[in-house]
Amino acid sequence: MRPLVLSPLFAALTSLPGIGPKLDKLYARLLGREAPRVIDLLLHLPAGVIDRRARPKLNEVQPGQVVTVAVTVEEHRGPPPNRSRAPYRVLVSDDTGTLTLTFFHARKDFIEKLLPIGETRYVSGTAEFYDGMLQMVHPDRVVDEKGFADLPLVEPVYPLTEGLALGNVRRAMDGALARLPALPEWQDDAWLSRERFPAFTDALAQLHRPTAPGDIDPGSLAWTRLAYDELLAGQLALALVRAHMRRQSGRGTASEGLLRARVLKALPYALTHSQQKAVDEIVNDLALPQRMLRLLQGDVGSGKTVVALAAAASVIEAGRQAAMMAPTEILARQHLKTIAPLAEAAGIRVAILTGRERGGERKAILDRLTLGDIDLLIGTHALFQDDVAFHDLALAVVDEQHRFGVHQRLALTQKGEAVDVLVLTATPIPRTLVLTYFGDMDVSELREKPAGRQPIDTRTIPLSRIDEVEDAVARAIAAGQRAYWVCPLVEESEKIDLAAAQERHAELKKRFGAKADLVHGQMKGSEKDAAMARFSSGQSQLLVATTVIEDGVDVPEATIMLIEHAERFGLAQLHQLRGRIGRGTGASTCLLLYKAPLGETAKARLAILRETEDGFRIAEEDLKLRGEGDVLGTRQSGLPGFHVARVEAHGKYLGAARDDAALVLARDPSLETPRGEALRHLLYLFGKDEAIKLIRAG
């Protein structure tokens, strides 16, 4: 049960004065929540402030800045009789100059009352020069002497959505602050006094009612207090998930390793040092009576699939089953292609289940699975649908975890008794983010590339030289090479001047004929497979594609990667795409085509790619340039980023939050002490209450 004291904060936003169904819809869009609540609004923090402490004379006003000026009203100029849509203008002045106040769709009686001729008024808004005259369109505030005395001198400015005015949000925020109840303190007293943090409710009040511009800085004590609260809630929830998984007694699955040895013997190369270390760590975990929860992160092409197969071989040898879940069908089929010959050599029975297997074919797979005639099932999220039943599932391998929610991870583990979980990611994740999102897991890293991997020559070329690039591609194709040509969109969007894959393909086809093929996310699975098969076999040599190829596509003969509008991609994504080449024996080249002039961030991004192929370093740099949501691809996939915490400002507190969470649960695993009870409030406030159910679940 949610603590009763929190009820006012979990009330619908429509319970605040002045918010009806129409505004509620706008707030839903602004706050990213279908039925927004008071707490969602309170955690919507200011992006800036209007500082009215300085009141310049008109001749000191800097255009483009928000200013507050004391002026005398000189003259009203309504629109001409025949032009009702023309603006209504009011001339005002001080002893140094004049200013025109401009109002569109204005009511004459309202403006005359607001700005009586001959009176002094305080006017606040953004002033700009227009036709050589200083003017202010729709001032934020127009008040008299008494009104100015009541006006906050520093007023917050919030991120908005179309149709929602700043005034709406400020009034709603006043109503929300009035609802703040007295809450128990969930932070450790010694920590609070050491960091000089204000109380939770005081921190919110300081951010929404600042007295100086620095009050709303992410580095301020108030913001940092809320950020630490959010980090602690996240770490506590992860620790509870981990404790829950550990508490459900595992089933140790030990084997002699004969089947694993057969798999590794079938490999054309020896495992790298870090692959061997990861296999050893996983096999040890599998043999223990606690459940395994391990993250295996490795750079593009570092051989995660082989490690996962070796892990699967261990449980299969003990007579149990394994499952491998990938986020896309292309990736699931790619895993099958890598695994099938090794599995066959070792005598492991493998099948695939995606949305494409239907009817009788699907039923036959499910029947074999239930009987135990399939050792390893590879698939997409089709794996955790209700009718999929395993004979004895021991190990769930989840690829590209950040594309799946924790619920999906748990859904797959419920397909068996005490299922061990191995999560793979090909996006090396900076350490701070590993703690944030995977704090419930042990971590193995694959740092080296398998033997024989070629270095990739990466170059940046302006789009203005695309004809030369096309000629170079033609020479490469004539010499028998294969190339990817990646475009950011499937269809031409009028708003964004991007090279669309379909248009680019049509153009290249004129020159290269059937040698140029196309693959994109909106094609049917069978069409995609056919296009990939033609490229793999060399029937086509130039594959025009969207980013569907970034995950796991493996054609060792491809030696050229050309990325159009590279400046529009994130660093990690560019690195993933580049990793599709350099997989065979031939020298490989990656061409990053960009539209000049480049912004500073894009310039830095492309420079890092030219400098290094180390995915771990690239991930750290990407985090500095873009922030945590983009690095994990979470902007698209809905994995909860932070509302309040900013990795660049507050990342240094993650370790403390993790240690604090571990200490709390070591002393009070059911959160029943006074501090434990208070921490339950924190979990609800930051939407981590799912974790409380795990305490109850025992």
pLDDT of residue 491 exceeding 70, the answer is no
- Tell me the pLDDT band of 409, cut-offs 50, 70 and 90: low
- Tell me the pLDDT band of 601, cut-offs 50, 70 and 90: confident
Instruction: Tell me the pLDDT tens digit for each residue of 677-692.
Output: 999 999 999 988 877 8
Does 524 reside within a domain? yes
Does 697 reside within a domain? no
Tell me: do 377 and 282 sit in the same domain. Answer: yes
pLDDT of residue 300 exceeding 80, the answer is no
pLDDT for 629:
44
Tell me: do 406 and 500 sit in the same domain. Answer: no
Tell me: do 384 and 472 sit in the same domain. Answer: no
Phi, psi for residue 693 in degrees, rounded to 5: -60, -30
Tell me: do 409 and 555 sit in the same domain. Answer: no
Instruction: Tell me the pLDDT tens digit for each residue of 49-96.
Output: 888 887 899 999 988 888 899 999 999 998 888 887 889 999 999 999
pLDDT for 260:
95
Hey, which of 461-470, 515-524, 580-589 has the most confident mean pLDDT?
461-470
pLDDT of residue 490 exceeding 70, the answer is no
- Tell me the pLDDT band of 187, cut-offs 50, 70 and 90: very high
The CB-based long-range contact list for 370-373 (8 Å cut-off, 24+ gap) reads: 372/321, 373/349
Burial class (CB in 10 A: 0-12, 13-18, 19+), 333: buried
- Tell me the pLDDT band of 440, cut-offs 50, 70 and 90: low
- Tell me the pLDDT band of 441, cut-offs 50, 70 and 90: confident
Does 680 reside within a domain? no
Interval 290-310 mean pLDDT: 87
pLDDT of residue 293 exceeding 50, the answer is yes
pLDDT of residue 494 exceeding 50, the answer is no
Which carries the bigger pLDDT value, residue 128 or residue 576? 128
Instruction: Tell me the pLDDT tens digit for each residue of 424-437.
Output: 887 777 766 676 66
- Tell me the pLDDT band of 403, cut-offs 50, 70 and 90: low
Tell me: do 395 and 274 sit in the same domain. Answer: yes
Does 678 reside within a domain? no
Range of the domain at 517: 456-612
- Tell me the pLDDT band of 498, cut-offs 50, 70 and 90: very low
Instruction: Tell me the pLDDT tens digit for each residue of 305-359.
Output: 999 999 999 999 999 999 999 888 888 988 999 899 999 999 999 999 998 888 9
Tell me: do 390 and 420 sit in the same domain. Answer: yes
Residues 6 or more apart from 128 whose CB is under 8 A from it?
63, 64, 134, 135, 136, 137
Judge contact between 201 and 43, C-beta under 8 A.
no
Q: Count of domains in the chain?
A: 4
Does 528 reside within a domain? yes
Please provide the average confidence, as pLDDT, over all residues in the chain: 87
Which carries the bigger pLDDT value, residue 450 or residue 193? 193
Given 555, 579, 612, which residue is the final one in a domain? Answer: 612
Q: What is the three-class DSSP state of 473?
A: helix
CA 184/CA 207 separation, integer angstroms: 20
- Tell me the pLDDT band of 568, cut-offs 50, 70 and 90: confident
Tell me: do 72 and 120 sit in the same domain. Answer: yes
pLDDT for 10:
97
pLDDT of residue 497 exceeding 90, the answer is no
Instruction: Tell me the pLDDT tens digit for each residue of 503-518.
Output: 899 999 999 999 999 9
Does 663 reside within a domain? no
Tell me: do 532 and 605 sit in the same domain. Answer: yes
pLDDT for 492:
53
What is 636-656 written as a DSSP string? HH-----SS--HHHHGGGHHH
C-alpha closest to that of 296 among 317, 324, 319: 324
pLDDT for 211:
92
pLDDT of residue 34 exceeding 50, the answer is yes
Tell me: do 21 and 64 sit in the same domain. Answer: no
pLDDT of residue 638 exceeding 50, the answer is no
Report the alpha-carbon angle 677-16-51, nearest 5.
95
pLDDT of residue 616 exceeding 70, the answer is yes
The CATH number of residue 280's host domain is 3.40.50.300
Beta bridge partners of 442: 294
Tell me: do 14 and 67 sit in the same domain. Answer: no
pLDDT for 447:
83
- Tell me the pLDDT band of 377, cut-offs 50, 70 and 90: very high
Tell me: do 420 and 468 sit in the same domain. Answer: no
Token pair belonging to 590:
């990656």
Residues 6 or more apart from 228 whose CB is under 8 A from it?
187, 195, 197, 645, 650, 653, 656, 657
- Tell me the pLDDT band of 496, cut-offs 50, 70 and 90: very low
Does 639 reside within a domain? no
Instruction: Tell me the pLDDT tens digit for each residue of 223-235.
Output: 999 999 999 998 8
Given 612, 644, 673, which residue is the final one in a domain? Answer: 612
Does 686 reside within a domain? no
pLDDT for 630:
45
Instruction: Tell me the pLDDT tens digit for each residue of 275-290.
Output: 999 999 999 999 988 8
Given 97, 119, 151, which residue is the final one in a domain? Answer: 151
The CATH number of residue 70's host domain is 2.40.50.140
Which carries the bigger pLDDT value, residue 528 or residue 682? 682
Percent of the chain exceeding pLDDT 90 equals 53
- Tell me the pLDDT band of 489, cut-offs 50, 70 and 90: low
Q: What is the three-class DSSP state of 628?
A: helix
Interval 572-585 mean pLDDT: 84
Tell me: do 67 and 147 sit in the same domain. Answer: yes
Judge contact between 29 and 199, C-beta under 8 A.
no
Interval 425-454 mean pLDDT: 74
pLDDT for 195:
96
